[in-house]
Amino acid sequence: MSKIVVIDYGIGNVFSVCNALRKIGEDPLLTNKSAEIAAADRIILPGVGAFGKAVDALKSQGFDEVLKRYKETGRPFMGICVGMQMAMSHGTEFGDHDGLGYVDGVVARIPSVTDDEKIIPVPHISWGRLVATQGGEAKWNASPLGGFQSGAVSAYFVHSYHCVPEDKSTILAETEYGGHRLTAAIGHENFIGLQFHPERSGEIGQRVLKRFMDL
């Protein structure tokens, strides 16, 4: 069985991520040990809460270096929610913070009004449809979202910030909210970031996790 490691750095709903992995027949290893992370076949970096706090928790425990070395092996690496956002070069939630820098770009606050100035509730909390970007269908099909038609399924989002990469071709999926397109998933090299919570997105989320395990 392939070794799937869930990073335990004190931030994130690790219980639910492990439960969802068990549901699809995996035996996740929840760990904060560098050697176990380095030896993993696949890793998942969860995360909830504020960007700065999560990044600080990672860096203060030296995980940024461990994850960087893992990333360089080319093995599959998934970030969920703030675990995705931290892969960006920069975050602005509660002050400026440097991220892990796997993907160039920033983590920006979700616009709080529609184009015609109506208020949109933030955080964005909903089951948003996952939609491929224009021209991004091939990338979508090769990713853990592949197999679903663009727009055919939805997943659970809860976030106030979203990733805005410099290179738009890294965007794997978007979701519409208040007339704005928010980044729902990013794929770059061996990193896949999901803004939604696959562990809380029912059978759809489990299928995404299953496909990540099959990469």
Partner 1 sequence: MRRRIISRLDVKMQHLIKGMRLEGWRKVGDPEEKALRYYDQGVDELIYMDVVASLYERNNLADIVERVASQVFIPITVGGGISSLAAVKELLAVGADKVAINTAATKNPELITDIAGTYGAQATVLSIEAKSLPGGGWEAMTDNGRNHTGLDVVEWAIEGEARGAGEIFVTSVDQDGTGLGMDLALIDAVTNAVKLPVIACGGVSKTAHVTDTFQKVDRLSAIAMARALHYDQVTLPDLRVACADAGIDVRDIDSERAALVAEVAS
Write out the two tokens for 156. Answer: 């659970």
Catalytic (active site) residue 81: yes
Residue from 4, 6, 20, 185 touching partner 1 (CB under 8 A): that is 20
Give yes or no for residue 61 binding partner 1 (CB under 8 A): no
CB closer to partner 1, 188 vs 197? 197
CB closer to partner 1, 20 vs 87? 20
C-beta of residue 31 within 8 angstroms of C-beta of residue 7: yes
CB closer to partner 1, 187 vs 205? 205
CB closer to partner 1, 34 vs 156? 156
Residue from 100, 200, 212, 213 touching partner 1 (CB under 8 A): that is 200
Catalytic (active site) residue 137: no
C-beta of residue 164 within 8 angstroms of C-beta of residue 107: yes
Residue from 3, 13, 57, 71 touching partner 1 (CB under 8 A): that is 13
SS3 26: coil
Give yes or no for residue 32 binding partner 1 (CB under 8 A): no
**Which residue has tokens 């080319």?**
74
Give me the phi and psi of 164, to 5 degrees please: -125, 90
Concatenated DSSP letters for 38-79? HT-SEEEE---S-HHHHHHHHHHTTHHHHHHHHHHHT--EEE
Q: How far apart are the C-alpha atoms of 93 and 115, rounded to whole Å? A: 23
Q: How far apart are the C-alpha atoms of 182 and 171, rounded to whole Å? A: 10
Write out the two tokens for 105. Answer: 């770009």
Q: How far apart are the C-alpha atoms of 59 and 100, rounded to whole Å? A: 9
Q: How far apart are the C-alpha atoms of 194 and 206, rounded to whole Å? A: 13
| Binding range to partner 1, per CB under 8 A, among 30-38, 66-74, 131-139, 155-163 | 155-163
CA 209 to each of CA 76, 77, 194: distance values in angstroms, whole numbers, following the listed order? 12, 12, 11
Residue from 9, 108, 207, 213 touching partner 1 (CB under 8 A): that is 207
Active-site hit among 26, 81, 93, 163: 81
CB closer to partner 1, 34 vs 150? 150
Residues 119-138 as x/- pattern, contact with partner 1 by CB under 8 A: xxxxx-xxxxx---------
Catalytic (active site) residue 18: no
- In the complex, the residues that contact partner 1 under the rule CB under 8 A are 13, 15-16, 19-20, 22-23, 48-50, 112, 118-123, 125-129, 147-149, 152-154, 156, 158-160, 177-178, 197, 199-207
Which are the catalytic amino acids?
A: 81, 197, 199
